[in-house]
């Protein structure tokens, strides 16, 4: 190979500088990872900023902290790599010089504007918010900044609704990194939109809430079915709707529900017996008065004609009483039956209380006797029907 061919085979000066710059950036990044103190909450393990981004389906693509991190991160978002950070820096400074009236009022520490932009043009000089605003306006993009436990910051470089978004992360109070999708390891430009991230996050939360609600409803349904089965086994009642209603009124207390169902079954039984007795009494014929029979005492005293007159008077009197008796509706009859039943229940309850008092008196008397037997009774919650 001749000397001219060897010279052509060797890479050019620009390519050599680019590779040297990349090697230096890799060394800086490796040294930075070893020496950078882990800020609280920004470590790995799914916590901190990494966990916060992971919840949005994002991850960090770290760039070297060599003072060029802002333009490296923005370049990675815009072009898919960070090799043109010096070009982006110079274009940003040129834009600030052209729009001096927009940026000069925000220069801090009483530094002259010329000196500020001259320093900013030097590689390795830290760039701040004014540089982000100038970059966004110059490239007609919106820059979204992610921070730990803080809302997203958006710096708008254009009012266009279809403008691109560049997502970067601000960490440790001095360093910027690029933000990409979890599975994006390419060197293609990042394509992220805040609206999409918010929609994904809200859909994820809604799915979690729906899943929890379905699980809780299923657990409640299983508990109710189990409680209904136990009440059926204890009481023999097969009316599921009635048992569920009593469970709800008793705050799902199983013992109270069983006691209430037993009490109601007993009340129904008593009501049925009383109704049967009343029906039987109505079907019995009324006995004839013996006084006015043909051979009765009235016939012997007053004669048969008087008997007929008395019978006629009784019939007319009954007819008159029937006419005078006010008609009673079915509702009033039911109300009378209910009041009658209530009075009978109160009488039985009063008798039980009196019997209980006498029993307590006997128990108090027997307390003095150490040999007297003691009976333990399981207590149920009282129910007023």
Q: Measure Cα distances from 84 to 21, 68, 90, 187, 286 in Å.
A: 11, 11, 10, 13, 119
Could you give the residue numbers annotated as active site? Answer: 66, 69, 175
* CA distances in angstroms from 253 to 233, 347, 374, 380, listed in the order given: 16, 30, 28, 10
Residue 241 backbone class (left: φ over 0; alpha: ψ -120 to 50; beta: rest)? alpha
Contacts of 141 (CB under 8 A, 6+ apart): 78, 157, 158, 163, 164, 165, 166
| Cβ pair 61, 26 in contact under 8 A | no
**DSSP secondary structure, 301-357, as one string:** HH-HHHHHHHHHHHHHHHHHHHHHSPP--HHHHHHHHHHHHHHHHHHHHHHHHHHHH
Q: Is the dihedral of CA 171, 172, 174, 175 positive or negative?
A: negative
For 248, half-sphere exposure in the C-beta direction (CA atoms, 13 angstrom radius) is 8
- What is the Cα gyration radius of the chain? 49
Antiparallel, parallel or unpaired: β 175-181 and 142-146: unpaired
- What angle separates helix 240-249 from helix 254-283, to the nearest 10 degrees? 120
Residue 141's closest CA among 130, 154, 128? Answer: 154
CA 282 to chain centre: 62
What is the rounded CA–CA span in Å between residue 153 and residue 145? 5
What tokens does 385 get?
A: 């029907």
CA distances 32 to 37, 41, 125, Å, are 9, 18, 17
């Amino acid at each position: 190979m001749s000397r001219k061919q060897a010279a052509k085979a060797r890479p050019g000066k620009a390519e050599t500088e680019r590779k040297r710059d990349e090697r230096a950036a890799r060394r800086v990044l490796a040294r930075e990872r070893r020496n950078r103190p882990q800020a609280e909450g920004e470590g790995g393990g799914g916590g901190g900023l990494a966990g916060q981004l992971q919840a949005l389906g994002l991850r960090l693509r770290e760039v070297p902290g060599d003072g060029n991190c802002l333009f490296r991160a923005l370049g990675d978002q815009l072009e898919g790599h960070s090799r043109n950070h010096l070009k982006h820096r110079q274009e940003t400074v040129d834009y600030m010089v052209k729009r001096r009236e927009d940026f000069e009022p925000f220069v801090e520490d009483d530094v002259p504007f010329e000196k500020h932009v001259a320093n900013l043009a030097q590689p390795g000089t830290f760039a701040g918010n004014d540089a982000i605003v100038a970059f966004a306006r110059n490239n007609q993009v919106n820059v979204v900044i992610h921070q730990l436990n803080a809302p997203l910051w958006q710096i708008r470089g254009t009012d266009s609704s279809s403008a691109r978004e560049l997502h970067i992360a601000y960490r440790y109070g001095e360093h910027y990194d690029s933000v990409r999708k979890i599975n994006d390891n390419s060197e293609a430009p990042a394509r992220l939109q805040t609206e999409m991230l918010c929609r994904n996050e809200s859909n994820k939360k809604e799915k979690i809430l729906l899943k929890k609600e379905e699980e809780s409803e299923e657990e409640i349904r299983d508990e109710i079915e189990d409680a209904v089965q136990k009440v059926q086994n204890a009481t023999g009642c097969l009316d599921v709707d009635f048992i569920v209603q009593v469970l709800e009124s008793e705050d799902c207390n199983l013992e109270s529900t069983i006691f209430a169902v037993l009490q109601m079954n007993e009340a129904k039984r008593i009501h049925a017996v009383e109704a049967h007795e009343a029906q039987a009494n109505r079907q019995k014929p009324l006995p004839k008065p013996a006084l006015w029979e043909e051979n009765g005492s009235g016939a012997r005293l007053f004669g048969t004609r008087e008997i007929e007159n008395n019978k006629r008077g009784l019939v007319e009197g009954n007819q008159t009483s029937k006419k005078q008796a006010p008609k009673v509706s079915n509702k009033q009859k039911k109300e009378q039956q209910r009041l009658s039943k209530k009075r009978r229940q109160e009488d039985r309850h009063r008798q039980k209380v009196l019997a209980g008092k006498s029993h307590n008196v006997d128990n108090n008397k027997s307390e003095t006797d150490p040999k007297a037997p003691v009976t333990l009774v399981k207590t149920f919650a009282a129910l007023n029907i």
